[in-house]
Chain A
Amino acid sequence: MRVGACAAAVGVLTGWGEGVAALPAEARTAAGGQPVIRLTRPALDGERFRRATRECLLGVAAVQQMLRDAELSREAIAGPRTALLFVTAGAYGASNVEFIAGRAGTLHFPYTAPSALSAEVAIEFGLTGAYVILIGGPTATVDALWQAARLLQEGRCDRALVLAVETFDECESLWRRARWSLQAPLVEAAVCALMVPGADRGPVVGAGQNGALEAEVQTRAGSTLSCGPLLALALARAAGAGAATVTGTWRGRRAAIEMTTTGPAVRS
Chain B
Amino acid sequence: MVAAGVVTPVGLDLDAFWSGLLAGTDGLSAIERFTVNDLRVGRGGEIKKLPPVSAGVRSRAAALLIAAAADLKTRASLDAAPERIAVVVGTALGGVEELERALAGDDSPRRALDALYDAPAHALADWLGVRGPAITVSSACASGATALGLGADLLRDDEADLVVAGGYDILCRFVLRGFDALRSLTRERVRPFDRRRSGLLLGEGAGLTLLARERDAGGRRLGRLLGHGSASDGSHIAAPDPQGRGLQSAIEAALQAAGAGPGDLDFVSAHGTGTLLNDRIETAVLRRVLGPRASEVPVNSIKGALGHTMGAAAALEAIMCLLAARDGLLPPTVGYEEPDPDCALDHVPGTCRAARPRLMLSTSLGFGGCNAALVLEGA
Contact = CB atoms under 8 A, between A and B. Distances in A.
Interface of A: 1, 80, 84, 89-90, 92-93, 96-97, 99-101, 106-107, 109-116, 118-120, 122-123, 125-136, 139-140, 143, 146-147, 150, 154, 156, 174-175, 177-178, 180-181, 251, 253, 255, 267
Contacts of B181: 106-107, 109
Contacts of A181: 109, 113
B178 interface: yes
Nearest to A133: B139
Interface in B185-244: 229-238
B137 to A, nearest CB: 6
B44 interface: no
B102 A174 contact: yes
B91 to A, nearest CB: 8
Contacts of B182: 106-107, 109-110
B245 interface: yes
B367 A116 contact: yes
Interface stretch (B271-279, B283-291, B368-376): B368-376
A180 B117 CA distance: 19
A110 B92 CA distance: 11
Contacts of B368: 110, 113-116, 118-119, 122, 133
A99 B133 contact: no
Interface in B112-143: 112-113, 115-118, 122, 131, 133-140, 143
B157 interface: yes
Contacts of A267: 157, 159
- Per DSSP, are chain B's interface residues mostly helix, strand or loop, or mixed? mixed
Interface of B: 91-92, 94, 96, 99-100, 102-103, 107-109, 111-113, 115-118, 122, 131, 133-140, 143, 146, 150, 153, 157-159, 174, 177-179, 181-182, 229-238, 245-246, 249, 253, 257, 366-371
A131 B115 contact: no
Contact of A113 (B150, B230, B367, B371): B367
Contacts of A253: 131, 133-134
A129 B116 CA distance: 27
A56 B32 CA distance: 35
Contacts of A255: 133
B241 to A, nearest CB: 9
A135 B367 contact: no
Interface centre among B111, B138, B236, B249 (most CB of A within 10 A): B138
A128 B232 contact: yes
Contacts of A106: 181-182
Given A96-B99, A110-B367, A111-B237, A134 B136 contact: yes
Contacts of A109: 177-179, 181-182
A96 B96 contact: yes
A174 B231 contact: no
A134 B237 contact: no
A238 to B, nearest CB: 29
A129 B231 contact: yes
Most A CB contacts (10 A, CB to CB) among B99, B131, B143 go to: B99
A92 B99 CA distance: 11
B99 A97 contact: yes
B371 A131 contact: yes
B94 to A, nearest CB: 7
B367 A127 contact: no
15 contacts: A109-B182, A110-B182, A113-B368, A122-B234, A128-B232, A131-B139, A131-B230, A132-B137, A132-B146, A133-B370, A135-B138, A136-B118, A147-B150, A175-B112, A251-B134
Given A115-B369, A116-B367, A150-B153, 4 more contacts: A97-B103, A132-B150, A133-B139, A147-B153
A37 B135 CA distance: 28
B158 A1 contact: yes
A106 B111 CA distance: 27
Contacts of B234: 119, 122-123, 125-128
B137 A134 contact: yes
B94 A251 contact: no
A140 B118 contact: yes
B160 to A, nearest CB: 12
B113 A116 contact: no
Given A99-B174, A135-B118, A177-B109, A80 B136 contact: no
A177 B111 CA distance: 9
Q: Identify which of B103, B138, B237 gathers the most chain A CB atoms within 10 Å of its CB.
A: B237
Contacts of A92: 117
The 8 closest A-B pairs by CB, nearest first: A115-B368, A109-B178, A119-B368, A106-B181, A131-B232, A110-B238, A122-B234, A177-B112
A134 B89 CA distance: 10
